Structure 1
Amino acid sequence: MMGRDIIQRMKEVAGFGSSTSDTGKGKSKQSARRITHGFHLVKGKSRHAMEDYLVAQFRQPNFWTNPEEAVMKAYQMTDETILDKSGELGRGGSTAVTAILIDGEKLVIANVGDSRAVLCRKGAAKQLSVDHEPDKERSEIENKGGFVTLLPGDVPRVDGRLAVARAFGDKSLKKHLSSKPHVKVQMIDSNVEFFILASDGLWKVMTNQEAVDAIRNIKDAQTAAKRLTEEAVSRKSKDDISCIVVRFH
């Protein structure tokens, strides 16, 4: 899952269309437990084109023998590709959160920026990703020659511009930014009910526990994902909102 204007340019270059909303679902029988996923995304009220984009796919068991190392390398390559193609894609950047589920038992979460992964275990929300906020990484940014601003009524920003401390792209700020993902491994037992991947358009208006509570009794993953986006809109979220729900049955 990725956000911000770089995604719109990537879709245009790749020949993908743009829409104000999208939804879908899928299922897998590759593990002992039945696993389903559903997704939904809606465009915010801003005047720019839809920035959020998501992908959900099932792969064969044991797809990677070392998924942690693979996802670190994938993030690095993604950042390098975006920077190399900045002439086509523009000088903007993107956040991302990804989930790799291996054999229905091992979950590898990685993220840069403020897109978030939250797991529900026996009704309790557990955040698996890290929000990369500039004020929390001030020392690292300043050691690279950058600075963090905090103006009245605004959020902390790198060099007075970017509200996240880690991101893909953003060529003009790259000397002061990291694209290294936070990686978390979570084993899936019988008490895990589902997990949510969503952009900050959701998390700006809902806590982790509120999101879990809102969909815990919704068994269809697609309906659950749509419910979360609708709730965020009803709470006056103005940002683009994208959401994937993966449910264990």
Structure 2
Amino acid sequence: MFSWLAKIAAAFLGLRHYARMSRDEGDGDALLWSRDLVRHAAGEYSFAVVQANESLEDHSQVETGRDATFVGVYDGHGGPDASRFIADHLFLNLMRSVRESGTISEDVVRNAFSATEDAFLAHVRRTREIKPLIAAVGSCCLVGIIWKGTLYIANLGDSRAVIGCLGRSNNIIAEQLTKEHNASMEYVRRELMTLHPDDSHIVVLKHGVWRIKGLIQVSRSIGDAYLKRPEFTIDPSIPRFHLPESLKRPVLTAEPSICKRVLRPQDRFLIFASDGLWEHLTNQEAVEIVQNCPRPGIARRLVRTALHVAARKREMRYGDLKKIGKGIRRFFHDDITVAVIFIDHEHLLGSDSAAPQLSVRGFVDAAGPSEFSMLDGV
């Protein structure tokens, strides 16, 4: 096994040594970062990220306010530019929109997504002369907001939010709150063919994988400018992003799917995660782990369980997987981000919670004050 891994490493990265960051000494995996348990307005949360790519493409944040909680998971592709941009701008755009309207609503959330998309495309326009491939960088975007007992979920792409609810026999039941915008789903292919009836190649089966225009799996994203506007067409000398004909209208959209749910007494916790987790765990497996294990470090436990499964699929042990550095790790699993938000109903509608107004970014060992302060008085 190790000789095979050594050959892969030599082929892709020569004799490079991996500089390991001190992230999770107890686990021994230098690419795994976590926050065990932090207060939020309606309970507690646990947060974890594991890196697989050479540059981390998952960016994420949890923002805690006096009366509200915000969770964002941004799974980038083509590089980290779009996911990092979303982490820097989406929450701020949401806060501005909430302050202007005086409340949180589905339209307010939609406006924040639209403003972030417009700002990123403007960034692409400004920088593509020096970085042409930024036009092919994009990101999925999953957001959850708990505000005064109501949950809002907005999603672009194939990250997923799942809620764990108590059933009649006090068993935990997984309920998926998001739809995935991925061409592997038949309903997504039907939607695309309905929107593009004159394009017989809007979805193409390529090497056993359904892709939009043969290029990308997700049908909704922030970024991916070259698939949205003709001005961002990439030089045809780069075949990876070559469109067989000029773009007549956008083939991807940044319109999120949004749902609203008044939280019920049987709702126990939420799991927000990039698709790297769901490649290895089912919804029900994930909620049972959360229900049956101690709260501290539960997001890290979910990530580690997914890594154990990923290792077994390649007939190796997790202990061996932990020895593989970033870049090469991508051959075994994706970047994975998990946030578990516990809902303690005695705190749900109160505004006297001891939760700090705090901003925590995934894989960054620093936290600071949250811009939720912009809502003071709203």
Q: Does 1:244 align with 2:288?
A: no
Q: Name the counterpart of 2:173.
A: 124
Q: Name the counterpart of 2:111.
A: 73
CA contact (8 A) 1:141 1:177 kept: no
Q: Name the counterpart of 1:3.
A: none
Task: For residue 38 of structure 1, report the CA deviation from its aligned partner.
Answer: 1.2
Q: Which TM-score applies when normalising by structure 1?
A: 0.82
Q: Does 1:93 align with 2:138?
A: yes
SS in 2 for 1:213: helix
Change (3 A) 1:114 1:80: same
In 2, the alpha carbon distance for the partners of 1:102 and 1:201 equals: 28
In 1, the alpha carbon distance for the partners of 2:182 and 2:51 equals: 24
Output aligned runs, 1:176-215, within 5 Å: 176-215=251-290
SS in 1 for 2:62: coil
Q: Does 1:150 align with 2:224?
A: no
Task: For residue 66 of structure 1, report the CA deviation from its aligned partner.
Answer: 3.3
SS in 2 for 1:195: strand
Output aligned runs, 1:3-82, within 5 Å: 20-24=31-35, 25-28=37-40, 30=41, 34-44=42-52, 46=53, 48-61=54-67, 64=98, 65-82=103-120
4+ aligned runs moved over 3 Å, structure 1: 143-146
In 1, the alpha carbon distance for the partners of 2:219 and 2:197 equals: 13
In 2, the alpha carbon distance for the partners of 1:184 and 1:73 equals: 15
Query: Counterpart amino acid of 1:69?
Result: D
Q: Which segments of 5 or more consecutive residues in structure 1 lack a partner in the other structure? A: 1-18
Higher Rg: 2
Task: For residue 40 of structure 1, report the CA deviation from its aligned partner.
Answer: 0.1
Measured against aligned partners, the alpha-carbon deviations of 1:191-230 in whole angstroms (never above 9, x if no partner) come to 111000000001111111111112212342x511111111
Q: Which TM-score applies when normalising by structure 2?
A: 0.55
Pairing partner for 1:167 from 208, 221, 232 = 221
Task: For residue 142 of structure 1, report the CA deviation from its aligned partner.
Answer: 2.3
SS in 2 for 1:166: coil
In 2, the alpha carbon distance for the partners of 1:144 and 1:131 equals: 24
CA contact (8 A) 1:225 1:243 kept: yes
In 2, the alpha carbon distance for the partners of 1:205 and 1:50 equals: 19
Query: Counterpart amino acid of 2:104?
Result: N
SS in 2 for 1:235: helix
Report how many residues are paired: 222
In 1, the alpha carbon distance for the partners of 2:47 and 2:194 equals: 35
Q: Does 1:227 align with 2:301?
A: yes
Task: For residue 140 of structure 1, report the CA deviation from its aligned partner.
Answer: 4.6
Measured against aligned partners, the alpha-carbon deviations of 1:103-128 in whole angstroms (never above 9, x if no partner) come to 2x110011000011000011110111
SS in 1 for 2:292: coil
CA contact (8 A) 1:40 1:244 kept: yes
SS in 2 for 1:108: strand
Query: Counterpart amino acid of 1:246?
Result: I
Change (3 A) 1:143 1:26: farther
Q: Percent identity?
A: 29
Query: Counterpart amino acid of 2:342?
Result: R
Task: For residue 99 of structure 1, report the CA deviation from its aligned partner.
Answer: 0.4
Query: Counterpart amino acid of 1:79?
Result: E
Change (3 A) 1:27 1:133: same
